[in-house]
Amino acid sequence: MPDFIVTQKEKEFKILQLTDTQIIDATQARYAGRLRAEEIERWQPENMQTELFDDMDKLVAENRPDLILVTGDIVYGEFDDKGTSLKAFIEKMESYQIPWAPVWGNHDNETVLGVDWQCKQLIAAKYCLFEKGNTVGCCNYIVGIKNAEGELVRLVYMLDTNGCYNASEASLKDGVRRAVGVVPQQLEWMRSSYAEICKEYEKEVPCFVAFHIEVLDHLELMERKGYYNSKNFEKYDIGDGGQDFGDIHETFNAGEEPISVLPTFKELRVDGAFFGHSHVNNASVFEDGIRWTWGLKTGKYDYHETEKLGGTLITLSKDGKEFVVVHKQTSKTE
């Protein structure tokens, strides 16, 4: 059984991906000199509305999603030892009264409060769909989408790609892994849970997977298509209008000892993978039945390209079999 169910109305189902909001509260900086003077002035907590929430409000109002996926780095945990930024983000998300499903990124769990405290805040939120999960990591769970007739049409696997290198001692005790990447136990959880759900519903359904850090198979795909060269990096703009679109403007990797997720994705009929982590990469690329998409970075915290901020809209057909991905830009000027 999926951990959560969202019911589709008699229309297309719209999913909005937000990623790398990465709220920084300059008043909570642990170390002198960690931020530049202009960053200290800009990232005061009273500026959260203009730095992030205005863009979120615009995205939700204009796209009216049925489900919101938040693919990690909600807060810069090093600057949230009091937990106030996470609480503010949750309060904003709850104000939309729309189901939302988050995963952790590589910065969230740096807070001294620890990941278990953070998980409790999410679980307590009325509209938040979240479970820590029972495999390696701290955000592995499943959201099911049913149509108006109550038939299961799609699953969304929320997956922890781990990798919080600067995790606090509390987070490490709570199960956070410093090493980047999915591990075999997580893939086994995906396969076994999918088999159980298919047996329960007496059918197979397609799946999305949402996570934070890029995986090995995606890296290899980008190199195979000629969009990325890890040995001699140059920025690459795919352009718009084709099957593939978007930009690759920074280097990325899948960790020191990455493993392939592709066989598991194929077994689960995954046709869409959505992630973030690289703030100025936003390419969406298709190959062999799977669309791999970097979500458009949301909000103005941390590094970014001003004209490439916003969110990513995934519009799912009524039968759950087809979908369209479009980046939705917000601010074009600082």
For residue 82 the two structure tokens come to 């009091």
What gap in Å lies between CA 45 and CA 42, rounded to an integer? 9
Which structure tokens are listed for 219? Answer: 């890296």
pLDDT of residue 20 exceeding 50: yes
What is the arithmetic mean of pLDDT over 249-257?
A: 95
Average pLDDT over residues 238-247: 94
The values of phi and psi at residue 184, to 5°, are -55, -35
User: Residue 104 pLDDT more than 80?
Assistant: yes
Residue pLDDT, tens place only, 53-90: 999 999 999 999 999 999 999 999 999 999 999 999 99
CB 201 within 8 A of CB 144: no
Write down the pTM of the prediction.
0.97
What letter does residue 194 receive in the DSSP assignment?
H
Say if CB 330 and CB 58 are below 8 A apart.
Answer: yes
- Coil, strand or helix: which one is 265? helix
Instruction: Measure the CA–CA gap between 42 and 38, rounded to whole angstroms.
Output: 6
Domains and CATH numbers, the chain: 4-329 (3.60.21.10)
Which tokens is 143 given?
Answer: 């959201």
Contacts of 133 (CB under 8 A, 6+ apart): 139, 140, 141, 160, 189
Q: How far apart are CA 167 and CA 104, in angstroms?
A: 12
Quote the pLDDT of residue 241. Answer: 83
Residue labelled with tokens 């996470």? 86
Mean pLDDT computed over 289-310: 98
Asked if residue 278 has pLDDT above 90, the reply is yes
Would the pLDDT of 114 be above 70? yes
Q: Could you give the CA distance from residue 321 to residue 319 in angstroms, rounded to a whole number?
A: 6
Task: Please determine, for residue 197, whether its predicted confidence score (pLDDT) is greater than 80.
Answer: yes
Backbone dihedral region for residue 163 (phi beyond 0: left; psi -120 to 50: alpha; all else: beta): left
Question: For residues 171 and 110, what is the distance between their CA atoms, to the nearest angstrom?
Answer: 7
What beta strand segments (E) does 151-234 contain? Answer: 152-158, 207-210
Q: Quickly list DSSP for 75-107.
A: B-GGG-TTSHHHHHHHHHHHHTT--EEEE--SS
What token pair was written down for 266? 């194929």
Task: Say whether pLDDT at 334 is over 60.
Answer: no
pLDDT digits over 201-219, tens only?
A: 999 999 999 999 999 999 9
Q: What is residue 60's three-state secondary structure?
A: helix
Could you please report the per-residue DSSP string of 109-162? GGSTT-HHHHHHHHHHSTTB-----SSSSS--EEEEEE-TTS-EEEEEEE---B
How many CA atoms lie less than 13 Å away from 317 in the CB half-sphere? 7
Mean pLDDT of all residues in 302-326: 96
Share of the chain above pLDDT 90, in %: 96
- For residue 105, which of 191, 166, 43 has the smallest C-alpha distance? 166
In this prediction, residues 250-268 reach a mean pLDDT of: 97
Average pLDDT for 139-164: 97
Res 231 pLDDT > 80 = yes
Which of 19-47 are b and which e, b meaning 16 or more Cβ less than 10 Å from the residue's Cβ?
bbbbbbbbebbeeeeebeeeeeebbeeeb
Mean pLDDT, residues 152-180 taken together: 97
Round to whole Å and give the CA distance between 227 and 284.
Answer: 11
Cβ atoms of 145 and 11 within 8 Å: the answer is: no
- Gap between the Cα atoms of 119 and 117, Å rounded: 5
**pLDDT level of residue 332 (50, 70, 90 thresholds):** low
Tabulate helix, strand, coil % of the chain (nearest 5): 30, 25, 50
